[in-house]
Amino acid sequence: MSLNILDKKYFIFDLDGTLIDSNSLHEKAFLVALEGTGKEFDYRNFHGVKTLDVFTSLGFSLDVAKNLTKKKQEEYRKYILSGDVTVFKGVDQIFRRLIFDGKKIFLCTGASRKSVNQIIDSMGWKSIFTDTICGDEVEFSKPDPLILNELIERNGLLRDNILYVEDSDKGLETGINGNVDTVIVNNYFENAIISFSEFLDFYEYYFEFSKIKGVA
């Protein structure tokens, strides 16, 4: 299915697995936090889910889940500070292109605010996003559309003008539940408008579409 991507005014991006190659690091941090608990864990089942909700869904009490959340987040932030978290090819290019084209860029992520701010600082993205929203700022995790709806409503965005960019099944379901056009990068889902095997393919799609329309 084709998508008239140039008609979109607002581009909302997920973070982990979408803009940054961090899912394996999140998994490692979870495993460190869970060490000795005897719990089986497969991070593929929890992409986009708030850390606290991951631990409660594994059967921990709220108090224990909060302690495990702190331990996991502290471990993950070590990876950020050490430079282990990297940006996918094409991300900085599309940011520059979208800004040049007068588009507005937003971030909608299940990650914690402290971790997100560290990522933004380390990647030099402070001037990129019009607004950002994080998982610990809303009650429910993806695929509940609350986090996406909150971002849309507080910025007065028209849903028809939005393109939501995700990488996971829960992210795609969030976009569908939020009634916005959603594309997938670094993954494939049959019910996505378009899936791109790599983020760079998404950037090249946008740029090629611009050339066809004579605006590149």
Q: What is the pLDDT of residues 32-58, one digit of tens each?
A: 999 999 999 998 888 878 899 999 999
∠ CA(27), CA(33), CA(39), 5° rounding? 85
Residues 66 and 106 in one domain: no
Mean pLDDT (whole number) for 122-150: 96
Residues 67 and 163 in one domain: no
23 close to 43: Cβ distance less than 8 angstroms: yes
Domain end marker among 81, 113, 148? 81
Mean pLDDT (whole number) for 65-85: 93
**Pick from 77, 73, 71: which is nearest to 122 by CA?**
77
CATH assignment of the domain containing 101: 3.40.50.1000
Residues 61 and 135 in one domain: no
Residues 17 and 37 in one domain: no
Domains contained in the chain, number: 2
The pLDDT value recorded for residue 212 is 62
Residues 102 and 198 in one domain: yes
187 close to 176: Cβ distance less than 8 angstroms: no
The pLDDT value recorded for residue 213 is 57
Range of the domain at 69: 23-81
With a pLDDT cut of 70, the percent of the chain lying above it is 96
Residues 54 and 111 in one domain: no
Q: How far apart are CA 51 and CA 65, in angstroms?
A: 9
The pLDDT value recorded for residue 50 is 86
Residues 139 and 49 in one domain: no
Mean pLDDT (whole number) for 50-78: 94
Task: Report pTM.
Answer: 0.90
Residues 43 and 107 in one domain: no
Residues 16 and 28 in one domain: no
Residues 91 and 139 in one domain: yes
Domain end marker among 61, 81, 101? 81
Q: How far apart are CA 64 and CA 59, in angstroms?
A: 10
Mean pLDDT (whole number) for 136-150: 95
Mean pLDDT (whole number) for 125-150: 96
Output b/e per residue, 71-90; b: 16+ Cβ within 10 A: bbbebbbebbeeeebebbeb
- Phi/psi for 23 (5° steps) reads -60, -40
Q: How far apart are CA 18 and CA 203, in angstroms?
A: 12
The two three-digit tokens of residue 112, written as one number: 């914690």
pLDDT averaged over every residue in the chain: 93
Q: What is the CA radius of gyration of the chain?
A: 17
Residues 132 and 49 in one domain: no
Q: Does residue 132 surpass a pLDDT of 60?
A: yes
Q: How far apart are CA 80 and CA 101, in angstroms?
A: 31
The pLDDT value recorded for residue 4 is 83
Residues 72 and 104 in one domain: no
Mean pLDDT (whole number) for 74-93: 94
